[in-house]
Amino acid sequence: MRARRLVIGIVLWGVLAASAPAHAQRFERVPNNYFRVEASLGPVNGPWNTLCGYLYNNRLVAARNVWIQVTGLDATQSVISSRDHPIVGDIPASGRAYFCVSVASDAKGYKFAVLSADWGFTDGP
């Protein structure tokens, strides 16, 4: 199980680094060096897996209204599923936010992208 999570983490990291130019126009606002992801798959529940992890904000300003996309790929790297998901709450400057997304359990790999983010300061206490 640990080896599976390591492989998935490496695949997610590699795909995240390689996938930046291939996304829709909204993605152009969020260069891939602004965020870093660490995620692993949970147990299979029928046709779905749960992909949970942390999205790290590498900038010195908070990220708000962040939307991510997780795309399921088959063995030929063809898209078999795609899920857009909001990150709940702000991601503090140089901080992280936890997320969980339901993904197709029959996917052989997953591509991760940050679709959009607004930048600004969080409200104080």
Alpha carbon 74 to chain centroid distance?
A: 18
Q: What confidence category does residue 117 fall into, taking pLDDT thresholds of 50, 70 and 90? A: very high
Class of domain 2-119 (CATH, top level): mainly beta
The closest alpha carbon to 106, from 80, 68, 85, 82, belongs to 80
More reliable by pLDDT, 11 or 115: 115
pLDDT at 42: 87
The closest alpha carbon to 66, from 121, 27, 117, 120, belongs to 117
More reliable by pLDDT, 8 or 84: 84
Q: What's the average model confidence in pLDDT over 56-74?
A: 94
The closest alpha carbon to 71, from 15, 116, 30, belongs to 15
- Residue ranges covered by each domain of the chain: 2-119
pLDDT at 5: 52
The reported pTM is 0.70
pLDDT of 106 strictly over 50: yes
Burial call 8-35: b when 16+ CB within 10 Å, e when fewer: bbebbeebbeebeeebeeebeebebebb
Q: List, for residues 24-61, the tens digit of each pLDDT value.
A: 323 344 666 899 999 999 888 888 889 999 999 999 99
Cα separation, 29 vs 12, in Å, equals 21
